[in-house]
Amino acid sequence: MAALPDKEKLLRNFTRCANWEEKYLYIIELGAAPGRS
């Protein structure tokens, strides 16, 4: 299993998102497998 980026950094980026749509897209981006975009 690949090492995840710093959790605090991820949370800081996540809370910086202005609205639910940005958060949703951010989650998708985090969960997207390479080559699936």
Length of the chain: 37
Residue 10 has pLDDT above 60, yes or no: yes
* Structure confidence at residue 21 (pLDDT): 82
d(CA 21, CA 9) in angstroms, rounded, equals 20
Residue 1 has pLDDT above 70, yes or no: no
Residue 29 has pLDDT above 80, yes or no: yes
Asked whether the beta carbons of 27 and 13 are under 8 A apart, the reply is: no
* Residue 26 exposed, middle or buried by CB count within 10 Å (0-12, 13-18, 19+): middle
Average pLDDT, the chain: 72
Residue 32 has pLDDT above 80, yes or no: no
Domain boundaries, the chain: 1-31
Asked whether the beta carbons of 30 and 11 are under 8 A apart, the reply is: no
Average pLDDT over residues 3-30: 76
